[in-house]
């Protein structure tokens, strides 16, 4: 595998003076190593593996080391990822007795010596070490291996899939698209003012339209159970980097009431209405495919009936039955999205399944 920056000069074209590689027609190469470090830090820092099961408490604490090379090549719009990296994680664990007294605290590492694009469809080898090899230390180490391995490998697969889609290159392209959209919005400002004036002339007709949209709405109610603390679930739902990790798409999340939110590469936008840390999230949501002016309300209640078990009660109200294109599966698709693209992905990526 050629190293970053050592590709065939016949294909790697010098940057234009205006910084443009039109339609990515020429071969462009982007170093993804620093981006990968940030990506893994977001996914694998302070991740709970066990939280009291069999009186064991284990978590991945940090990324200790990420070495090697990772890059994305693009030719004629085709994404060609390349990488050979090694990853070392730090972890800590504790065993307690039935009364909650600490028996032993240990630290260790998880080593993944070889993650390569040549084996992208295979899980890499993983080794767990611990500094205390006594009987209790070995018990904690074995639990870290059996419970932590699938959790860590799932996050590695998230990174591999993100690389296959362009990694940081995709994010840069999305930011460019947003800039273009903002320019278009400015250019259409005069037209918007004209439309507003026309709306004043015929307010009654507009009011009738709004009522019809409201009448054609339904509510979604779901109750989901997770193996985690309520505060951890709240942090995931309100942290844009974690959203990027488990949805593999861009997210922007304000942590203030009244602040703006955006999910799934801008397909969903809205604002925070009410926030109670570890307990409640209320947000206005709007999908880009909905009719103009249509908004829904998302209410997520987090309950922790016992330590380490969280119940999420979702109520999504005022979801329109049809979108602007006449598709009548909006409610069904929205409910499926909550189950498959949000709740199930959180279970898979963060290991919160029950």
User: Helix (H, G, I), strand (E, B), or coil: what is residue 22?
Assistant: helix
| pLDDT of 334 higher than 60 | yes
Calpha distance 305→274 (Å, rounded)? 22
**Per-residue confidence band for 324, with pLDDT thresholds at 50, 70 and 90:** confident
Calpha distance 268→247 (Å, rounded)? 13
Average pLDDT over all residues of the chain: 82
Average pLDDT over every residue of 62-82: 87
More confident residue, 281 or 24: 281
Average pLDDT over every residue of 147-164: 91
**Per mean pLDDT, which range of 40-54, 201-215, 238-252 is the poorest?**
201-215
Among 8-22, 39-53, 93-107, the range of highest mean pLDDT: 93-107
Per-residue pLDDT at 25: 43
Per-residue pLDDT at 74: 77
Query: pLDDT per residue over 23-33, tens digit each?
Result: 444 457 789 99
| pLDDT of 11 higher than 80 | no
**Per-residue confidence band for 105, with pLDDT thresholds at 50, 70 and 90:** very high
Calpha distance 107→150 (Å, rounded)? 19
**Per-residue confidence band for 201, with pLDDT thresholds at 50, 70 and 90:** very low
Per-residue pLDDT at 266: 87
Calpha distance 96→228 (Å, rounded)? 18
**Per-residue confidence band for 205, with pLDDT thresholds at 50, 70 and 90:** very low
**Per mean pLDDT, which range of 17-31, 148-162, 277-291 is the poorest?**
17-31
Per-residue pLDDT at 104: 95
Per-residue pLDDT at 49: 92
DSSP assignment letter at 14: P
DSSP assignment letter at 262: E
Asked if 257 and 274 touch (Cβ cutoff 8 Å), the reply is yes
Sign of CA dihedral 259, 262, 266, 270: negative
Asked if 289 and 320 touch (Cβ cutoff 8 Å), the reply is no
**Per-residue confidence band for 76, with pLDDT thresholds at 50, 70 and 90:** low
| pLDDT of 352 higher than 90 | no
Per-residue pLDDT at 79: 83
- DSSP string of 115-181, one letter each residue: EEGGGTTSPPP-EEEES--SHHHHHHHHHIIIIIHHHHHHHHHHHHHHHHTTTHHHHHHHHHHHHHH
Percent of the chain with pLDDT over 90: 54
Per-residue pLDDT at 202: 44
| pLDDT of 143 higher than 70 | yes
More confident residue, 82 or 182: 82
DSSP assignment letter at 184: H
Closest CA to 48 of 307, 304, 227: 227
**Per mean pLDDT, which range of 5-19, 60-74, 80-94, 109-123 is the poorest?**
5-19
**Per mean pLDDT, which range of 131-135, 169-173, 211-215, 336-340 is the poorest?**
211-215
Strand stretches in 216-341, DSSP E: 217-226, 252-253, 260-263, 268-276, 280-287, 296-306, 309-320
More confident residue, 6 or 73: 73
| pLDDT of 169 higher than 90 | no
| pLDDT of 354 higher than 70 | no
Average pLDDT over every residue of 98-109: 95
């Amino acid at each position: 595998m050629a190293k970053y920056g050592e590709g065939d000069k016949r294909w790697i074209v010098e940057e234009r003076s205006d910084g443009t590689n039109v339609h990515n027609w020429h071969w462009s190469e982007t170093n993804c190593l620093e981006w990968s470090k940030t990506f893994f830090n977001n996914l694998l820092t302070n991740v709970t593996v066990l939280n009291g099961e069999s009186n064991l408490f284990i978590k991945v604490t940090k990324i200790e080391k990420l070495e090697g090379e990772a890059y994305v090549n693009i030719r004629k719009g085709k994404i060609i990822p390349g990488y050979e990296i090694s990853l070392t994680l730090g972890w800590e664990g504790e065993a307690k007795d039935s009364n909650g007294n600490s028996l032993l605290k240990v630290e260790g590492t998880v080593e993944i010596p070889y993650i390569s694009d040549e084996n992208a469809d295979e899980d890499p080898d993983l080794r767990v070490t611990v500094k205390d090899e006594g009987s209790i230390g070995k018990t904690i180490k074995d639990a870290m291996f059996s419970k932590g391995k699938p959790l860590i490998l799932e996050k590695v697969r998230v990174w591999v899939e993100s690389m296959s889609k362009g990694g940081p290159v995709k994010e840069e392209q999305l930011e460019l698209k947003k800039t273009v959209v903002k320019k278009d919005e400015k250019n259409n400002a005069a037209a918007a003012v004209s439309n507003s004036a026309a709306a004043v002339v015929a307010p009654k007709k507009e009011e009738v339209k709004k009522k019809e949209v409201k009448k054609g709405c339904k509510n979604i109610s779901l109750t989901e159970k997770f193996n985690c603390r309520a505060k951890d679930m709240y942090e995931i739902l309100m942290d844009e980097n974690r959203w990027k990790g488990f949805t593999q798409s861009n997210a922007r999340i304000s942590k203030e009431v009244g602040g703006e939110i955006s999910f799934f590469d801008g397909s969903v936008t809205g604002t925070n209405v009410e926030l109670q840390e570890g307990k409640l999230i209320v947000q206005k949501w709007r999908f880009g495919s909905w009719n103009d002016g249509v908004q829904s309300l998302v209410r997520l209640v987090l309950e922790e009936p016992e330590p380490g078990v969280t119940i999420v009660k979702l109520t999504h109200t005022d979801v329109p039955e049809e979108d602007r294109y006449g598709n009548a599966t909006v409610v069904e698709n929205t409910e499926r999205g909550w189950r498959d693209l949000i709740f199930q992905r959180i279970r898979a990526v963060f290991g919160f399944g029950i």
